[in-house]
Amino acid sequence: MNRQEWAAGALVAAAALVVALRAPGVRPSRRLRGLGGQVRPAADRRPTWWPDRVRLGAGLAGVAVAVLLGGVSGCLVGAVAALVADRLLRRIESPAARDRRLREAADLPLAADLLAATLRAGAPVDRSVLEVADALGGPLAERLHRIGRTLLLGGAPDEAWAHLGAIPGADRLVAAALRTSRSGAALAGALTRVADDLRADRSIAAEVSARRAGVLIVLPLGLCFLPAFILAGLVPVIVAVLGDVL
């Protein structure tokens, strides 16, 4: 390998490292903090470095292509490669967005149970949502705060509960809330059933992931064993038979 190839490889490795390295986040707020109190937990603040890292990684990839090819044509191809890499990398979910989505999905069953408990205690829906948001903390609390404020200000239930639409599994909770708001039925029982269903789905998903991991662990062993079996077991037999026939 010449110097250009070494330089291009180093730039590609630097681009991959820049994109893959996780940004340091703040320590997550303690769950159920301030339960029974009036202190609202502060919203999680994560550094918005992902777009900058995507641009830097795409730029390094473009420079690597330009260095590898060289000349004016290499610069043009490197610019195109940087634009294409930037477009492709922007489709990847950032680590902060993925952590936020997973935390919201994990806290959703607990939020449904707490909301059911406050409703059974006699609190209205808007105040119950706000109290659960204060007690729960984390990224899900931000959505619950928006829901509670919308309901408290007289907003439509469709508009309020739409803030949960992006969370995996929240469609059941939203459907239950909208159905009970139209029919006048009790929401607490529906929320309890939704929380149980969400926990059951998480258990099934964990079991499926564990089984898939077992299959994936066996694959490398099979890929190593099958060629060895063919070379050590079948090839000598085939060679011996062909030798006798020919």
Give the per-residue SS3 of the chain.
CCHHHHHHHHHHHHHHHHHHCCCCCCCCCCCCCCCCCCCCCCCCCCCCCHHHHHHHHHHHHHHHHHHHHCHHHHHHHHHHHHHHHHHHHCCCCCHHHHHHHHHHHHHHHHHHHHHHHHHHCCCCHHHHHHHHHHHHCCHHHHHHHHHHHHHHCCCCHHHHHHHHCCCCCHHHHHHHHHHHHHHCCCHHHHHHHHHHHHHHHHHHHHHHHHHHHHHHHHHHHHHHHHHHHHHHHHHHHHHHHHHHHC
Q: Are residues 75 and 132 in the same domain?
A: no
Residue 221, in any domain of the structure: no
Residue 162, in any domain of the structure: yes
Q: Tens place of pLDDT for every residue, the chain, 246 residues?
A: 555 555 656 656 665 655 565 544 444 444 444 434 433 433 344 445 556 666 777 777 777 777 777 777 778 877 887 788 777 767 776 677 778 888 888 889 999 999 999 999 888 888 999 999 888 888 888 899 999 999 989 888 888 898 887 788 888 888 888 888 887 678 888 888 988 998 898 888 888 888 887 777 777 777 777 777 777 877 788 888 877 776
Q: Are residues 59 and 85 in the same domain?
A: yes
Q: Which residue in this structure is represented by tokens 């739409």?
A: 162
Question: The whole model's pTM is what?
Answer: 0.58
What pLDDT is recorded for position 36? 40
Q: Are residues 115 and 66 in the same domain?
A: no
Q: Are residues 64 and 130 in the same domain?
A: no
What range defines the domain where residue 88 resides? 9-16+53-92
Q: Are residues 109 and 80 in the same domain?
A: no
- Here the CATH number for the domain that contains residue 142 is 1.20.81
Boundary (domain end) residue, out of 39, 71, 92: 92
Residue 158, in any domain of the structure: yes
Residue 219, in any domain of the structure: no
Domain count, the chain: 2
Residue 148, in any domain of the structure: yes
Q: Are residues 80 and 161 in the same domain?
A: no
Q: Are residues 124 and 192 in the same domain?
A: yes
